[in-house]
Chain A
């Protein structure tokens, strides 16, 4: 799986958009970009994924650059409950039973402040 680079930590004011960057310059054509988050004392939670198009769901938006070498996770209106470690992971979509594990890097510790 391609290596990702994320800032160690970020702050965001409550109610503002949180923009979390991720660099994945060695991403392969068949690798997806996944985002997970881990709130303190809980297991990681899936947020969103994408291949090359921008994606949006009820939790967040994912913006992937045209060359796919970087992406940004956007939490449009951050709340205190969004304080967590956010992990950007790139990997091939699981096919049958092969290679489906996630490789977690250090992630970005997002602190949402009142």
Chain B
């Protein structure tokens, strides 16, 4: 299994500002995923981030709003830009297991935008 940590665990931010969320994995992984979970809702995939290539964004998510970095095989960042209250969510990173069957998730970053 993979152990994933995220920073910060939670934050309260003002409208119009940006927040960068960090995701650190204890092993080298090729594929990392970023999900959003709005209050009371299920998870929605934002983008897939492979090391050495541009992130692939899902419908409804754009790079200008959610820029992603993937500098190496153990680390990624997701930035939530020009935040509005609608961005208040839990943001989770995830990696694929070695067997390619399972995925492992970080604990999430709880973001509140005021």
A101 B100 Cβ-Cβ under 8 A: no
Q: A43-B92, A43-B107, A44-B105 are in contact. Are A105 and B100 (CB under 8 A)?
A: no
Contacts of B102 in A (CB 8 A): 34, 46, 49
A15 within 8 Å of B (CB atoms): no
How many residues on chain A are close to B (CB under 8 Å)? 22
B110 to chain A, nearest CB (A): 8
A97 B105 Cβ-Cβ under 8 A: no
B106 A93 Cβ-Cβ under 8 A: no
Binding site for A on B (CB under 8 A): 4, 30-31, 33, 42-45, 48, 50, 58, 92, 94, 96-97, 100-108
The 7 A-B residue pairs with the shortest CB-CB distance, nearest first, are: A43-B105, A94-B100, A46-B102, A104-B43, A104-B42, A44-B105, A101-B45
